[in-house]
Structure 1
């Protein structure tokens, strides 16, 4: 087993200084940013400079070059280990070398590669790595040699990973490689991943794969802390079954070979008695079992537990109650573990812990107790300001160091999706200030339930934590996509399109930013050809990824989201074709396409993810963009047709989870809008009818079982024609269900409920119904159950009047126009395949009905030549087929 470098020894010493108030970077870090003469060095990535990830601190091209000879000699120096040598040898073979031989001395003829030999840099006139911090390295290519010189064995291993990226892939020797000088070091000591989510734990195979990925991307810590491993939490005192212990050993051995610290995190907080000698011994004994299989880094997370309820009476008797008591009890137990286990095991890394208050920097009795009583060399993990912190700043990190009094290792809850299992979070690491890594003991990112899909975001985490000064989220994201696609341009394009519609998160608030830009361009320019190509590529992306993505685990992880993406792209293309047809005056084709959309959208929403509990969770992709485009395209079709479209809802309040304002208008009392906070005076919920219409009965149904107090306690119902000037309909107070009727003749486009006072409870609205009086529909046959006569002219072609029976002689369906006016045309929309015949008639000023056309097919458009009428009707011809009418549109 390769000895672990003591990378945390200096960190532990620094911790003591930090407690004393010193926040400046240590001398070794200062030295890392200069050349031997004190001249600052910066990353250079100019033309011809090969891409290395994570982005190096300094890359410079040289004027000389080397050639990959048929036989390459590898000379191992003092900081070379078998892991680094294996990476180098494989990279040379892939570059075309037929034979790679190890020797104690350089070759007199072929290329020689010096691994872990800083002295060999002299021929290249490069400074050695002695001034660099742990994990730093120098890579030199030129002067007829390649030299990899690490500050330590891990640094040399990282130099090998950089060389792997620099060398070409060739089938035969002779490749010429440009000269290069890389001087590189990490921005923070610890960089990696904490498997700390709730939900389906990763498979053993996936964890092994992850460790390989971390080594390739210069991440050096993996914290084993899956919330649903019972032997870490509920059964923390119990010994592992032999097979599970063997798997942990397997992971530990792989981690050593990849220069990753495997950290074992035991979470006793659900049942531990802090004062108990037996529990302290159980914890130490469990750690000893894990030590015996090779683990050298340990953590005790005490997150997501109660610290107001003791697990034993002895703790209350010893410490009392309150946050300060809990902090003292936790410090007592951790100090025992630190003294009885960590201090007695040479080679053990500093103990890590997660406080119960891990999500803020506010002062508290709990934090004060930890700061004062916890051993100074214990690392404290912290998620930032918020459980999922949208941003993280240097100021916040400094505040965390001060309030906890210990070095801070961030537990960054990105790209974790256990709180949003319906989504993949494939955007870059974002919102983290430059300079932050240098203030931290390290950065660990909590990944998604999907291990392989997590790699896209983890690539950017590795890039930021290594070199935050050069980090740009979008640039790093693009490089990660290219690498993950295996160098194939078509696969990269497909992966980018798929990642874009799975981009948004608490850290990346832009929804599908690249697709959103294309939608915006289309609505501005009307260039459907370009958008058609974009949507075609999006629809083809899932098949391309399934066929060509090298990492098959990603395809398995992403299956439901791939299916949903393909279906949403199909629906969006249909919506685009619909608008094109409507704008071209081809109403029949546009209507045919509009009728295809509901089934396509339903299919796009049908794909599910199966959680740990077996629950089926509908997945979301591109929500707020793809679905919004379909809705906007439908509204555009309806506008061209001459109807107002279905009413829409909006609010000044935020939305809790996916309980959107649209649910106020879905006709389903079991669904609801739910705010994410309490309203203040003048907060409002508004219904937009699309155009000014006569209004009648209004119903506002608020509250729900389990949230009976969530309603507007004090407010008014108001209406407006222009959204600026408002008139009151009624005031209400202290009741969740409000009804009123507008005075006859009242016309409005907008109706709103406005709070007239602030309150502490949130707001639930089950339904906000505004009945309209113009366009009133009367006649026969009666509507079938679940349908309504009004659906024939409600401004929404998506709703359908379905008759309960066939028409009888003399029956008709009449749509009032409110007042006599000129009628330019009458368009009747019916569902595809609908049957039944009728005369289309207008009523003139004398009350007489005149036939202007006949109903035929699903789309009938009749020119009325500007005749004046106050009503239109469909005079049915007797038949057995029950009529179906989606919309009667009367245009001026």
Structure 2
């Protein structure tokens, strides 16, 4: 039976369980629960990465109290150790290595033909399962079943090589049950599996806080468990890789690296040592060549067999020595020739003279496109053909990678291509955790490549969710489903606890988007969309938000991988904060719907502090910089904004302006931030704009416009603004009219001609530029605002206009208690039909009056923080709050007549 596309994800105690457990045999202990009867059509057990071929057999095997393991003369020790540990975790009391299995015992054969285990080939033949012939390197066969009078049955782990046998053991670990007693029955199966590409793994190549030694050791175990075979050691903070590349490691530091090499080797991971001499190397120097190869020799002596020379992030327009300039001249072609000369000497004098060394790898200075150049021509024509070239795709962080692009890269570089895939790395967006799946890579890509290595996040343990999906794609791209792989990674990391899995999924969901996938919080967004569309009840959204609110506490207390919670700590705090803010916003909307005006207003008043708390958590980088973290950008903060819009509508206020743009968004700095009244927040584009790109404001309806103010750039990026553009307005979003042109200034203002009416206002780019765009605030002042006058005078930082500016978030606050005769008057440009007067306040005592035909009528009095008075149906041109002399200093958020 072939594996189905969508698989169940059973997990118990960290080991994946066969989908069908058959009736317990006589050897089972009396206190074991009986195994369920077999299903009519049993499913294939879940193995990750998804095997190339997996068939369910009609038989089964039983984990007996004593299990016999048959090995060859050269059976891989790591595979044997892993198989024994998995069998004991499955309930076996004893696991014995023997030349011949005993009757009545489960027999397990470990080792393929290359490990001199002829018995495994015979066992496969007895089961009617094809052997390892024709399998690619690191491929394997895993079979479980019965042959004739086998009794408990037999399991065979046979690799095309030792690593293949180790991977068969990793699959066995997932197939066997996890239980404290023998007697577990496992569905018979036949797996024939092999990797889609040769090199699969991780390159520690980010800028920022380096991983600890303990985290690196933990990563080696993770890579082995997920059939990744490559780790590239290239941390930017190791001075002996870059600034001190010529110097030998001190003995204690070399010992730390040796420990890592040994752990990698134990997990069948090739440790790749990447030395980066480009900042100071003299390519033509024999002395520098010797320094480089001597350095490699010290690493060879501790077990390293894979070497790389990255020449990225350097200038090739400036030579490090006069001899290079004299020999090669100037320009990209000269640089390529010089690099090829040095690398060829390393390849011929070190790699070729060390039997067992893997092919040399290099990172070109032009590593991010497929456009031919003099530099690439030199690499293509002069670099030894067996040197592997690393490439990031089309772009430093390539949103997609296609088969055609990979073919183009092979052609333009003329060498085998190993991708340096900059996902899930977050050194360029340190405010974010990137926990979504590996996506945007076309099926068929791996077979075009020498391999795929992923650059991980600064946070090693949090990187595992995304890296698990990288492992799945690189092993079997044809059977890869990004969402299914991601769900399985969440399931696996949860360690068998449904509560932890629910919490981890909720948290990872709001950290899902990235440069390769713009999907924001797919689970939560769907519930929110259903709520706003009236298809999901408030209770469903409340449950989802409560789950997110509570998830951090669950993860900190119960997630088996404790490093994840440490890595994610500020993001966990932010998730809790935003969930609390969204829950309050949800209750506000529901209270307003129910007509509970005072309760809704009380919740609205809580939102600013809740939002501030959600924005407060920071990530502290290695330089001590405090970076505010971002979770669920546009979703969690967007829900608060949408709830406030709904609340405004319930109050009868006009819609709040919304920010819009044609540009991409960088690191969660969404366009709503340029209309939030906070000059410290901003919209930030994800790239330099093209001519015709724009940022703008939607007023929600056509209104008379009096002026526009656009404030761009920020202190840390003063050139990030539209350097040449035009301010335009439109009533329908189609026909646009110019207000003014501008250039070379980050702050732009314009007055609109009398009678201007618009719904949309935008700033459009009119000339190309290299800088990105930051907009702190984009303010459109409308001409039909009411005039607010009166006393007492406003306190510092407040203004009378705030009492009728259409925003419940802004307050007029009196500087003193009111004196006799003091009043606050809101006068409208023209008389309007008024049915109710609503006053949102936080202090003060007053009579509420409306002016009808020039005369004031008292219609009631303020009644606490929320007052709504029915005035019938009158034509009034003003509302007045006549203060009670000596009462508390007034505070008014909004006076609304409608």
Q: Does the pair score TM above 0.5? A: yes
Instruction: Kindly indicate whether the alpha-carbon contact (under 8 Å) linking 2:432 and 2:667 is maintained by their aligned counterparts in 1.
Output: no
SS at match of 1:849: strand
Moved more, 95-104 or 877-886: 877-886
Say whether the 8 Å CA contact 1:719–1:729 is kept in structure 2: no
C-alpha displacement at 1:189, in angstroms? 1.1
Secondary structure of the residue that 1:886 maps to in structure 2?
strand
Please report how far the alpha carbon of residue 68 of structure 1 lies from its aligned counterpart in structure 2 after TM superposition: 1.3
Q: Distance in 2 between matches of 1:379 and 1:70?
A: 50
2:813 pairs with 1:819: no
Task: Report SS of the residue matched to 1:114.
Answer: strand
CA distance in 2, matches of 1:361, 1:731: 38
Query: Residue in 2 aligned with 1:65?
Result: 60
Distance 1:702 1:216 in 2: 49
Aligned pairs for 1:463-542 within 5 A: 463-525=472-534, 527-542=537-552
Q: CA deviation at 1:154?
A: 0.7
1:429-483 CA distances to partner (integer Å, 9 max, x unpaired)? Answer: 1011111111111111111111111111111111111111100100111111111
TM-superposed CA distance for 1:711, in Å, is 3.6
Do residues 843 (structure 1) and 851 (structure 2) align? yes
Matched with 1:292 is 301
- How many Å apart are 1:700 and its aligned residue? 4.1
Query: Is the contact between residue 195 and residue 223 of structure 1 (CA under 8 Å) also seen in structure 2?
Result: yes
Secondary structure of the equivalent of 2:240? helix
The 5 A counterparts of 1:272-671 are 272-525=281-534, 527-655=537-665, 660-666=670-676
Are residues 1:775 and 2:807 paired?
A: no
**1:712-765: CA deviations, max 9, x gaps?**
635354353x5455555556677765544445565544444456x444465555
Contact preservation (8 Å) 1:711, 1:765: no
Q: Which residue of 1 aligns with 2:5?
A: none
Structure 1 residues 589 and 141: alpha-carbon distance in aligned structure 2, compared to 1, 3 A threshold? same
CA offset digits 1:392-433 (Å, max 9, x no partner)? 111111111111111111111111111111111111110111
CA contact (8 A) 1:79 1:152 kept: no
Shift of 1:546: 1.6
- Shift in Å, 1:703: 6.4
| Alignment CA distance shift 1:405-1:621 (3 Å) | same
Give the one of 879, 887, 892 matched to 1:885. 892
Indicate if the aligned counterparts of 1:191 and 1:444 stay in contact, CA closer than 8 A. Answer: yes
Distance 2:739 2:436 in 1: 47
Q: Provide the rounded CA distance (Å) in 2 between the counterparts of 1:346 and 1:281.
A: 19
Distance in 2 (alpha carbons) for counterparts of 1:666 and 1:524? 25
**For 2:663 and 2:226, how far apart are their aligned partners in 1?**
43
Distance 1:265 1:673, change over 3 A: same
CA contact (8 A) 2:845 2:888 kept: no
Q: Distance in 2 between matches of 1:154 and 1:161?
A: 10
Distance 1:559 1:238 in 2: 37
Mean Cα displacement is larger for which, 695-704 or 565-574? 695-704
Identify if the C-alpha distance between structure 1 residues 511 and 739 changes in structure 2 by more than 3 Å, giving closer, same or farther.
closer
1:793 aligned onto 2:804: yes
Q: In structure 2, what is the equivalent of residue 96 of structure 1? A: 91
What SS does the aligned partner of 2:849 have? strand
Aligned partners of 1:703 and 1:388: how far apart in 2?
A: 24
Out of 135, 140, 147, which is 1:137 matched to?
140
Contact 2:634 2:668 (C-alpha < 8 Å) held by counterparts: no
- Decide whether the 8 Å contact of 1:709 with 1:761 is kept in 2: no
Structure 2 equivalent of residue 858 of structure 1: 865
SS at match of 2:424: coil
Query: 1:80: which partner in 2?
Result: 75
**Change beyond 3 A, Cα 1:737–1:141:** closer
Separation in 1, partners of 2:276, 2:868: 71
Q: Is the 8 A contact 2:726 2:739 kept in 1?
A: no
Q: Match for residue 873 of structure 1?
A: 880
Measured after TM superposition, the shift of residue 696 of structure 1 is 2.9
Higher deviation after alignment, 76-85 or 852-861:
76-85
**Secondary structure of the equivalent of 1:860?**
strand
Quote how far apart the aligned CAs of 1:502 are: 0.5
Offset, 1:173: 1.4
Tell me the SS of whatever aligns to 2:253: helix
2:215 & 2:691 partners in 1: Cα distance?
52
Deviation, 1:645, is 4.7
How many residues are treated as equivalent by the alignment? Answer: 841
Separation in structure 1 between the aligned mates of residue 743 and residue 586 of structure 2, nearest angstrom: 46
The DSSP-based 3-state class of the residue aligned with 1:406 is coil
Q: Corresponding residue for 2:16?
A: none
- Give the 3-state SS of the residue equivalent to 2:533 in structure 1: helix
* TM-score, scaled relative to structure 1: 0.91
Structure 1 gaps, min length 5: 1-44
Is residue 130 of structure 2 the alignment partner of residue 127 of structure 1?
yes
Taking the aligned partners of 1:709 and 1:137, their CA distance within structure 2 comes to: 54
Contact 2:845 2:887 in 1 (8 A): no
Judged with a 3 Å threshold, the aligned counterparts in structure 2 of structure 1 residues 109 and 303 are, in CA distance, closer, same or farther, namely same
Post-superposition offset of 1:653 = 3.9
SS at match of 1:159: helix
Separation in 1 of the partners of 2:287 and 2:68?
A: 58
Aligned counterparts of 1:189 and 1:446: Cα–Cα separation in 2 = 17
Cα displacement (A) at 1:695: 3.6
1:488 CA displacement: 1.6
CA contact (8 A) 1:79 1:150 kept: no
Distance in 2 (CA, whole Å) between partners of 1:733 and 1:303 is 36
Q: Deviations over 1:674-716 (max 9, x none)?
A: 5556666665443333444444344345567775694463535
| CA distance in 2 between partners of 1:169 and 1:530 (Å) | 35
Tell me, yes or no, if the aligned pair for 2:261 and 2:304 is still in contact at 8 Å.
Answer: yes
Distance of 2:873 and 2:613 partners within structure 1: 42
Can you list the C-alpha shifts for 1:560-585, whole angstroms capped at 9, x where unaligned? 11111111111111111110011111
Q: Could you tell me which runs of 5 or more consecutive residues in structure 2 were left unpaired when the two chains were aligned.
A: 1-39, 112-119, 147-152
RMSD after superposition:
2.2
1:206-221 to 2 correspondence within 5 Å? 206-221=215-230
Distance 2:128 2:468 in 1: 33
Question: Partner of 2:100 in structure 1?
Answer: 105
Give CA-to-partner distance per residue, 1:323-374, whole Å, 9 cap, x none: 1111111111111111121111111111111111111111011111111111
Equivalence for 1:805: 816
For 1:689 and 1:221, the matched residues in 2 are separated by: 54
**Rounded Cα–Cα distance in structure 2 between residues aligned with 1:877 and 1:547:** 55
In the alignment, which residue of structure 2 is the partner of 1:118? 121
| 1:807 counterpart SS class | coil
Three-state SS of the structure 2 residue aligned to 1:372 is helix
Cα separation, partners in 2 of 1:622 and 1:862, compared to 1, 3 Å:
same
Contact 1:118–1:148, Cα closer than 8 Å, also in 2: no
Looking at structure 1, the residues matched to 737 and 361 of structure 2 have their Cα atoms a distance apart, in angstroms, of 62
Q: Residue 809 and residue 697 in structure 1: after superposition, are their counterparts in 2 closer, same or farther (change >3 A)?
A: farther
* Of 254, 262, 265, the match for 1:253: 262
